[in-house]
Amino acid sequence: MKNILVILTTVLFFTACYTPNGNKLAFSSLNPDTDITPSARNSISYEMYSWYNGQDWAYSIFENGTRITSSFKSITEDNNIIVGTDYLKDKLLSMPRGTKIYWNLKRIKGFSMPDTKTVNGIINAANKAGVSVEIIAWPS
């Protein structure tokens, strides 16, 4: 009886590893195309501001809850300014998946948006990185 149980268990084990068409199943249930990149654990969110500095587009990104003020001067004089849209896209690619960015002009005088093509390029780069960008206020 013990031998029959061992044989039956072995046969069931090996048949469970194959699909009806004979293809072997992986022990993992993950699809090979599943993205397992670590994501932002608590959906970290940021505020982003943009302005044209006379030569190129500049951006500041602040984690929500930190040093966000309503002053153009304090935001544009920060040490973490990103100058150039390509550098911004690189920054977005380095952020954890699931990060949320609120492009928030808050109607503060001095902030502006790049042209629609540039904005769409930034949003597309963010989407590829698994980062969501929401525009809070377009300048009037």
- Rg of the chain taking only CA atoms, in angstroms: 25
Q: Where are the domains of the chain?
A: 45-135
Alpha-helix runs per DSSP H in the chain: 2-16, 72-76, 85-93, 116-128
Give the per-residue pLDDT at 19.
46
Query: Of 86, 88, 62, nearest to 75 (Cα)?
Result: 62
The reply to whether the predicted model has a pTM over 0.75 is no
pLDDT digits (tens, 9 = 90+) for 91-128: 999 999 999 999 977 777 888 899 999 999 999 999 99
pLDDT digits (tens, 9 = 90+) for 42-94: 567 888 999 999 999 999 998 876 655 667 888 888 788 999 999 999 999 99
